[in-house]
Amino acid sequence: MRIAAEPAFVLHARAWRETSLLVEVLSAEHGRVGIVARGVQGPKKHLLRAALQPLQHIRFDAVQRGELAQLNAAEALDAAPRLTGDAALAGFYINELVLRLAPRHDPHPELYSAYAATRERLREGGALAWTLRRFERDLLEALGFGFDFSRDGDGAEIDPAARYRLDPEHGPRRLLSDRGHDERSSAATGRALLALATDAAPEHDDLASLRLPMRGVLSHHLGARGLKSWEMIGELGRLKK
């Protein structure tokens, strides 16, 4: 199968053999695609190598044979965000999430759009924690794992004053008032869930309450092996601002 002039975002690239790269991209029409880019390490290939770096928006031509496509051409469509510090770690995190959860050759246009929007938010330097929670929500929804943040698993409206755990299969579950402190402190506030439902940034404490419940949902779908980015940035504990 030929892939022609396909827009995509580069998720990962690593050296392969002496002169080539193995590249993973999230494309608009073909979903996640693994690509072999041969002979890109030469002195005259610096523009092509630059186009194949993570977070870069590209247009590429390739021929799909088996699991991996063979790259014929690629060009950058814009300048990739220049991220440093926590923002760079956040970029690594969203790329790793897509690599782990999005299957190859399965188009998800909503995920492509969500990735594009998140990339721009990282470029603009907005609040990282809110940017990441929104992307987690949108990724789960695009892959068919999402749920309604405005109602609990039984269909009742979310109470802003209550706390909820997130059941990966059934959605929000309200905690009873007699639950222990540890369980309540690791649950999301109703206000935070409603903020996700309406895409309106919550207050700091409500936003912070989303991190562990959302991680629990993601961990369920990731399986036993966690994310390298969780280890690198202390389970995203630094990204609370």
Q: What is the DSSP string of 72-86?
A: EEEEESSPPP---HH
Hey, is 171 helix, strand or coil?
strand
Local structure of residue 169 (DSSP, 8 states): T
C-alpha to C-alpha distance for 13 and 61, rounded to whole angstroms:
17
What single-letter amino acid sits at 234? G
Question: pLDDT (tens digit, 9 = 90+) per residue, 92-115?
Answer: 999 999 999 999 999 999 999 999
Q: What angle do CA 104, 26, 24 make, to 5 degrees?
A: 70
Residue 167 has a pLDDT of 96
Q: Which amino acid is at 187?
A: A
The topology under which CATH files domain 85-232 is de novo design (two linked rop proteins) (1.20.1440)
Using alpha carbons, select from 20, 46, 48 the residue that is nearest to residue 35: 20
pLDDT for 178? 54
pLDDT at 197 over 90: yes
| CA pair distance 188, 83, nearest whole angstrom | 29
**pTM of the entire predicted model:** 0.92
Cβ partners under 8 Å of residue 84, min gap 6: none
Q: Report the pLDDT value the prediction gives residue 12, as an integer from 0 to 100.
A: 97
Q: Which amino acid is at 175?
A: L
pLDDT at 60 over 90: yes
Do residues 63 and 1 lie in contact, with contact meaning Cβ atoms separated by under 8 Å?
yes
Architecture of the structural domain at 2-76: Beta Barrel (2.40)
CA–CA distance, 21 with 136 (Å, rounded to integer): 28
The pLDDT confidence band at residue 45, using thresholds 50, 70 and 90, is confident
- pLDDT band of residue 41 (cuts 50, 70, 90) is confident
| Statement: residue 46 has pLDDT above 50 | yes
Domain range summary for the chain, segments of one domain joined by +? 2-76, 85-232
Which class for 170: exposed (0-12), middle (13-18), buried (19 or more C-beta within 10 A)? exposed
Residue 241: pLDDT band with limits 50, 70, 90: very low
CA dist., res. 59 & res. 77, Å (int): 7
Q: Any idea which of 3-12, 15-24, 36-45, 160-169 has the lowest mean pLDDT?
A: 36-45
Name the more confident of 178 and 57: 57
